[in-house]
Amino acid sequence: MSTASEKAGVTPMMAQYLVLREAAGDCLLFYRMGDFFELFFEDAQIASQVLDIALTTRGEHGGQPIPMCGVPVHAAEGYLARLIKAGCRVAIAEQTETPAQAKERARKEGRASKALVARDIVRFVTAGTLTEESLLEPRRANVLAAACEVRGVLGIAACDISTGRMELEECPPDRLGAALARLGASELVVPEGWELAPDGAISRGGHEFSSDGGDERLKFVHGVATLDGFGTFTRAMLAAAGGLIAYLDHVGRGKLPLLLPPVARAGDAALAMDEATRASLEILESSQGGRKGSLVEAIDRCVTGAGARQLAEDLSAPLTDRLAIAERLALVEWLHDDPLLREDMRAALRALPDVGRALGRVVAGRGSPRDLGQLRDGLSGARRIGERLAQMDGLPVLLDRLMPDLGGHAALVDHFAQALVESPPTERGQGGYIASGYDAGLDELRVTSGNARRAIAALEAKYREQTGVTALKIKHNNVLGYFIEVPQRHADKLLEPDSGFSHRQTMAGAMRFNALALHEEASRITEAGAHALAAEEAHFEELVAEAVAARHAIARTAAALARLDVAAGQAERAAEGGWTRPEVVEGLSLEIEGGRHPVVEAALKVQGERFVANDCRLASHDRLWLIGGPNMGGKSTFLRQNALIVLLAQAGGFVPAKSARIGMVDRLFSRVGASDNLARGRSTFMVEMVETAAILSQATDRSFVILDEVGRGTSTYDGLALAWAVAEAVHETNRCRCLFATHYHEMARLGETCEALSLHHVRAREWKGELVLLHELAEGPADRSYGLAVARLAGVPPKVISRAKSVLEKLEKGRAETGGLAAGLGDLPLFAAAQEAQEEQCDVLRDKLRDMDIDALSPRDALEILYDLKREAGTES
């Protein structure tokens, strides 16, 4: 890529471009040229591939054609969305003066050459700094985060600039991954050269991550002399906040977005879950990626985007404050028990716009008249909801606390209602958004401008009568403005010296003229229109200033609406699924009756099948369940459903169970499923061991752990030994509540030495030679793993199943006789062709006899079958 030092010999426009390109850094540069954003050089090559648009050339540089592509300004947002989704970042270079201003500037500078319009980068568009409605997912927060280290402690600052919410926290270095996984940030900003920086993080100068600088920046943003009124923030938190705000200042080119007062998040305020646990439980995304098949997709019944975003946040950070959980549950229960009120609330909420994101755009300077209309309509709707709820008796504590934020804003709403038309446009350049009657002067200007067609029509009629040319017409275009046009054969009448018309342009078959009266009328119309637009723009700025001044109160109203939507949606989901209110208590119990997996149950319901519910009862004397039984029998589903029930309960929602009594969980761990991380050089077994190590080092006696098939990624002896040792460690050292599923039924002997361990299995039954999976949990050890039966269910060829039976018999015989697992395999040939063929033939004969309905056979049919069997046996008569 060329730099500013290579500008010699290039055109003024390209010289200007190269300066801006250097300032754009690693971003693609959208260079405004008239009605298009143009890209050049490597930027054009990248954009043309991502956007699938034509790549052309414009001029030369260094003797080579300059690649170029462009997108229309009016459609730029759609192209930006595709570029951002592809991982690109974009710098927007806009014209900062009009051609007339550029011409006047050149005249003052004494330059006679054609003036180049000045341009500058006005904004950087990045994944974490989006505010445009078309670029954001309505039901997903868009988080930007910054992280740094101060004296061995990590500080994290996170904000969603589309709504202004900002949080600060600190954590030890080994918890960085878990904290970032909870946030799910679109972008992460870190100090340059930081050793702990995750892949893909954006590096910025280390001086921006200063605790003193962060303190000063926060005070400046919020216009306060001290941050004491917002809470207590550590030096690590302030340093991260400093880096975050500095980055926002950079991408906004000095224009900061909406930032609400920061909230300090305590490290133990939320149920801790590491990245592996979140992925395993598929909370916000399924294992295939995307929302479909995830927990949030199965339970989200919110009717607003803000509510859906709040629900996702609740599920990402379940509470550990029992009182706060009880307050959320009480509100859900209140709406659950009153279906008519719940439906009224949901209908009212469904009609409301996204107040929080409209406010974010207005404060960021990217607002439109439509955004102001959304603030008006949203705040007005919130007031109506508040008035409806105020008529109710016995409001839940949480709702009572939200009530002040559901009212108020009366003066602002009334002012906006008077000032704005009912449906304001998204663009303000053409005017038409200030309501009639709001400004008498503006109304008069509109009358003058609006009478243009009538005035022009009157002039046209006058000129036709004056000239006798019935084909005379008055037209308009952006170059000439208003003009008179007549056919060539009638032009002589207007060309006469005393006609009152002046020639302007000769066309093929027509001539164009001007007239003094037309010029005066056109000037009056143009001037009135320009003054009307200027008046509307002034009113727009006044309304924006009023909204910005009330931003904190408006943001609280938006948050209250989102919380009400979450509660109503949770109540709706509970009502449709027969879910119940959990009881969250102190202590270490975990008693779930008739628990179900919300995602699996929903999928089975679509297929017309019923989910088999199961109980789970853990206590201090019975805190570790060892669960055996066949694969596909439901062990993993049972493990996950109990973890999800804990998560849902502590997030403040009802749960899919007949009843649930849950002792508060501080950390939730899930080691379920096989995965690898080849990019980091980790095999499936290595990933399994890393995740297991994290559990053994971090789980406390208040944690809840689910472990599935530990040790299966290595040899049988190693795997069994590891699974045995891990189970003992969980029992003796961590002493946490744990569900441990295993295919090693030999581990049942642990029940003899571990007093808080109990044995369970998923039930299965063989009937007529086929395995029937019952998906029911029962007490006691599993007698076997049913591996071959499951393989037959999966469609493994009968020949392979038969061979596996032979090997299994030898293995079991050798172990029984010598105690060695592989004993007896020495005389087992790799290809025992005759024996295999005989066993396969016997299996075929058995299958035919088993499927035969003897009572339905005629004597002739029975005789034919006997002949067939004799032929297949190789003794044909």
Superfamily of domain 584-793: P-loop containing nucleotide triphosphate hydrolases (3.40.50.300)
The whole-number average pLDDT for the span 163-167 is 95
Has residue 620 got a pLDDT over 90? Answer: no
Has residue 852 got a pLDDT over 80? Answer: no
Tell me, what's the pLDDT at 822?
Answer: 47
- 369: annotated binding-site residue? no
Tell me, what's the pLDDT at 824?
Answer: 47
- 787: annotated binding-site residue? no
Has residue 210 got a pLDDT over 60? Answer: yes
Tell me, what's the pLDDT at 807?
Answer: 75
Tokens of 295: 């927990």
* CB contact at 8 A, 428 and 540: yes
**DSSP-assigned beta bridge partners for residue 758:** 625
CATH number of 4-125: 3.40.1170.10
pLDDT one-digit tens code per residue, 628-663: 887 777 889 999 999 999 999 999 999 999 999 999
List strands edge to edge, sheet with 28-33: 56-61, 64-72, 36-40, 28-33, 90-95, 119-125
840: left (phi over 0), alpha (psi -120 to 50) or beta: alpha
Tell me, what's the pLDDT at 674?
Answer: 60
**Nearest-5° Cα angle at 467, 466 to 469:** 125
Tell me, what's the pLDDT at 839?
Answer: 59
Q: Which amino acid is at 134?
A: S
Has residue 564 got a pLDDT over 60? Answer: yes
Tell me, what's the pLDDT at 771?
Answer: 61
Tell me, what's the pLDDT at 278?
Answer: 94
Residue with the two structure tokens 């290039």: 10
Yes or no: domain 300-409+550-576 corresponds to CATH 1.10.1420.10? yes
- 635: annotated binding-site residue? yes
Has residue 569 got a pLDDT over 70? Answer: yes
Has residue 877 got a pLDDT over 70? Answer: no
* CB contact at 8 A, 330 and 533: no
* 519 Cβ contact partners less than 8 Å away, ≥ 6 residues apart: 482
CATH number of 442-539: 1.10.1420.10
Has residue 2 got a pLDDT over 50? Answer: no
**DSSP-assigned beta bridge partners for residue 148:** 155
pLDDT band at 622 (very low <50, low <70, confident <90, very high): very high
Q: Which amino acid is at 842?
A: C
Tell me, what's the pLDDT at 299?
Answer: 96
Tokens of 133: 């409605």
CA distances from 129 to 46, 90, 251, 548, 785 (A): 22, 11, 8, 19, 53
Tell me, what's the pLDDT at 813?
Answer: 72
pLDDT one-digit tens code per residue, 711-747: 777 777 788 888 899 999 999 999 999 999 988 878 8
Angle between helices 369-390 and 551-577 in degrees, nearest 10 = 60
Q: Which residue has better confidence, 290 or 593?
A: 593
Tell me, what's the pLDDT at 112?
Answer: 59
Tell me, what's the pLDDT at 259?
Answer: 95
pLDDT band at 823 (very low <50, low <70, confident <90, very high): very low
- 103: annotated binding-site residue? no
Tokens of 735: 């002493």
Angle between helices 369-390 and 516-549 in degrees, nearest 10 = 40
- 630: annotated binding-site residue? yes
Integer Cα distance of 811 and 818 in angstroms = 10
Q: Which residue has better confidence, 361 or 789?
A: 361
- Residue ranges, CATH 1.10.1420.10, the chain: 300-409+550-576, 442-539
Integer Cα distance of 796 and 798 in angstroms = 7
Tokens of 601: 């149950």
Tokens of 35: 């009605």
- 636: annotated binding-site residue? yes
Has residue 616 got a pLDDT over 90? Answer: yes
SS (H, E, C) 735-749: CCEEEEECCCHHHHH
Superfamily of domain 137-267: MutS, connector domain (3.30.420.110)
- Residue ranges, CATH 3.40.1170.10, the chain: 4-125
* CB contact at 8 A, 243 and 276: no
Secondary structure letter of residue 819 according to DSSP: S
Integer Cα distance of 661 and 578 in angstroms = 17
**DSSP-assigned beta bridge partners for residue 29:** 91
- Residue ranges, CATH 3.30.420.110, the chain: 137-267
What is the helix (H) or strand (E) element at residue 91, kind and residue range?
strand 90-95
Tell me, what's the pLDDT at 429?
Answer: 83
Average pLDDT along the chain: 88
pLDDT one-digit tens code per residue, 116-151: 889 999 999 999 999 888 889 999 999 999 999 999
* 24-33, 188-197, 848-857: range with lowest mean pLDDT: 848-857
pLDDT one-digit tens code per residue, 421-437: 999 999 888 899 999 99
Task: Please count the residues of the chain.
Answer: 877
User: In degrees rounded to 5, what are phi and psi of residue 134?
Assistant: -75, -15
Percent of the chain exceeding pLDDT 70 equals: 91
User: In degrees rounded to 5, what are phi and psi of residue 455?
Assistant: -65, -40
Tell me, what's the pLDDT at 629?
Answer: 81
- Residue ranges, CATH 3.40.50.300, the chain: 584-793
- 252: annotated binding-site residue? no
Tell me, what's the pLDDT at 848?
Answer: 72
Q: Which residue has better confidence, 45 or 114?
A: 45
Has residue 825 got a pLDDT over 50? Answer: no
Has residue 276 got a pLDDT over 60? Answer: yes
pLDDT one-digit tens code per residue, 458-475: 889 999 999 999 999 999
Has residue 831 got a pLDDT over 50? Answer: no
